[in-house]
Amino acid sequence: MVPILQRRSLSLGGGQGFAQITRQDSNCSLPGSSGCLGLSYNISKKQPSLFWNCQPPTTTLANLYTKLQAARSQCHVDVAFWGGLIPGNTAELKPMMKAGVPGFKCFLIDSGVEEFPSVGAQDVHSAMRELQGTDCVLLFHAEEDVDAEKSGGGGGGGGGEPSQYSTFLASRPDVMEVEAIRTVSELCLQYKVRCHIVHLSTAQALPIIREARQKGAPLTVETTHHYLSLAAQHVPPGGTQYKCCPPIRSKCNQDQLWRALQEGDIDLVISDHSPCTADLKHLESGDFLQAWGGISSLQLVLPLFWTSARRRGFSLHDVVRFMCKNPAKLSGLAAQKGALCPGQDADLVIWDPEKEFEVKESMIQHKNKLTPYLGFRLHGEVFATVVHGNLVYLNGEFSPVPQGNLLLVK
């Protein structure tokens, strides 16, 4: 039996989508990137100086066109672009939206990337006013700085040993997410503009999300595979390949996230693929506080999710809902992507959900191979990938000609 699944076609992040990353301290993948299946990495060869760390950020209409131009004929899968909200670019939002950007990501905390500063309350209020009455969605990296009293002394690492994961974890306590999500929920209720929490890590924020939704907030939320597959207890000293923001938390927290999926409190599961070169992970010193924050997993997300999900009683239909249907809805692509029915793109994954394999570096297709999943035994091997009817991957080989389209959402 070879079940088929539709693969999501729009990546939320992927700081490595355009080039080798040179920044040292970014916490999170940036918007506007490609990266599905890690197949558009050669773009940088054309204009290497322009696209460091996914630069320029998709925060102006001109930058969007620059990226579209660079990505043309380079992508093996269909790719759309999120925009970015930064201080002072409110006037760019509607033009970018009209050009085909489905929404805008912003950071409520320092992103670690100079060109992508975080927004303050006034920036968000003005963006909300600008987007009221549209179907556009604002995506929030939901962590914010909190005072020492609220954080219980966390927030700076507490002077612990930097190669211990617990030191890093203490520097990004749950309350930073909880307070940011409280802020987003209030704004969402006030303006009734679609809001989305990207990469939710802490289960402690779920009651706030639930309550806001009950009150009518058009609020959605996603989590990622690293929070569902990895736990703080298992991160080895110096294992900076496990660093991402918000951080991977306890096994107990992980179980609560799975329960939230079961109960419909989390809508989708995405990759938050955010690779970097090995040197940026500071593997020699194993310094969690200095290392790049981001995890590579794009190629592995289907077997990663399926391996745990089936053990927990989820079905293939659930996988499709979390990884295809709901991401397509969020991205304004539901008329084209996310289901197998007449009129939709014939995007298929042909795979063997029973086949078990071990993750080895030699099979990783990402440009930078570092991943916390090396050695994992996973169920579900992809045999072929079809994008709008065209075979783009078969048994380890890619189509010689990229066949992905650039998607503009109208």
Q: Quote the least distance from Cβ 41 to Zn ion, whole Å.
A: 21
Q: Quote the least distance from Cβ 333 to Zn ion, whole Å.
A: 21
Q: φ and ψ at 281, to 5 degrees?
A: -90, 0
Q: What is the DSSP string of 346-404?
A: --EEEEEEEEEEE--GGG--SSS---TTTT-EEEEEEEEEEETTEEEEETTEE-SS--P
Query: 16 or 163: whose CB is closer to Zn ion?
Result: 16
Nearest 10 degrees: Cα torsion 44, 48, 54, 56: -130
Query: 199 or 281: whose CB is closer to Zn ion?
Result: 199
Residues 248-277 that bind Zn ion (CB under 5 A): none
Query: 141 or 366: whose CB is closer to Zn ion?
Result: 141
The span of 20-28, 39-47, 176-184, 231-239 binding Zn ion (CB under 5 A) equals: 20-28
The answer to whether 199 touches 270, Cβ cutoff 8 Å, is yes
Residues 114-173 that bind Zn ion (CB under 5 A): 141
Q: Quote the least distance from Cβ 310 to Zn ion, whole Å.
A: 28
The span of 28-36, 38-46, 225-233, 344-352 binding Zn ion (CB under 5 A) equals: 28-36
In single-letter form, the type of residue at position 357 comes to F
In single-letter form, the type of residue at position 215 comes to K
The span of 23-31, 183-191, 217-225, 364-372 binding Zn ion (CB under 5 A) equals: 23-31
Query: 84 or 173: whose CB is closer to Zn ion?
Result: 84
Structure tokens at 85: 């909200």
Q: What is the DSSP string of 102-130?
A: -EEEEESS--S-TTSPPP-HHHHHHHHHH
Q: Quote the least distance from Cβ 28 to Zn ion, whole Å.
A: 3
Query: 28 or 146: whose CB is closer to Zn ion?
Result: 28
Q: Quote the least distance from Cβ 30 to Zn ion, whole Å.
A: 8
The answer to whether 105 touches 85, Cβ cutoff 8 Å, is yes
Q: Which residue is nearest to Zn ion (CB)?
A: 28
Q: φ and ψ at 149, to 5 degrees?
A: -60, -50
Query: 141 or 281: whose CB is closer to Zn ion?
Result: 141
Query: 297 or 385: whose CB is closer to Zn ion?
Result: 297
Q: Quote the least distance from Cβ 213 to Zn ion, whole Å.
A: 21
Q: φ and ψ at 187, to 5 degrees?
A: -65, -40
Q: Identify the burial level of 17 via C-beta atoms within 10 angstroms of its C-beta, where 0-12 means exposed, 13-18 middle and 19 or more buried.
A: buried
In angstroms, what CA-CA distances link 35 with 57, 94, 127, 374? 15, 25, 27, 20
Q: Quote the least distance from Cβ 146 to Zn ion, whole Å.
A: 18
Q: Quote the least distance from Cβ 386 to Zn ion, whole Å.
A: 30
Q: Quote the least distance from Cβ 35 to Zn ion, whole Å.
A: 14
Q: Quote the least distance from Cβ 281 to Zn ion, whole Å.
A: 18
Binding-residue total with Zn ion (CB under 5 A): 2
Distance, CA of 184 to chain centre = 18
Query: 8 or 141: whose CB is closer to Zn ion?
Result: 141
Q: Quote the least distance from Cβ 80 to Zn ion, whole Å.
A: 17
Applying CB under 5 A, among 10, 12, 21, 28 the residue interacting with Zn ion is 28
The span of 26-34, 161-169, 312-320, 358-366 binding Zn ion (CB under 5 A) equals: 26-34
Query: 7 or 141: whose CB is closer to Zn ion?
Result: 141
Query: 39 or 200: whose CB is closer to Zn ion?
Result: 200
Give SS3 for 179.
Answer: helix
In the 8-state DSSP scheme, what is residue 201?
Answer: -
Can you say whether the dihedral through the CA atoms of 70, 75, 78, 83 is positive or negative?
negative
Alpha helices in 44-118 (DSSP H): 61-71, 90-99
In single-letter form, the type of residue at position 323 comes to M
Q: Which residue has the tokens 């793109």?
A: 345
The span of 27-35, 55-63, 114-122, 155-163 binding Zn ion (CB under 5 A) equals: 27-35
Query: 67 or 141: whose CB is closer to Zn ion?
Result: 141
| Residues within the interface to Zn ion (CB under 5 A) | 28, 141
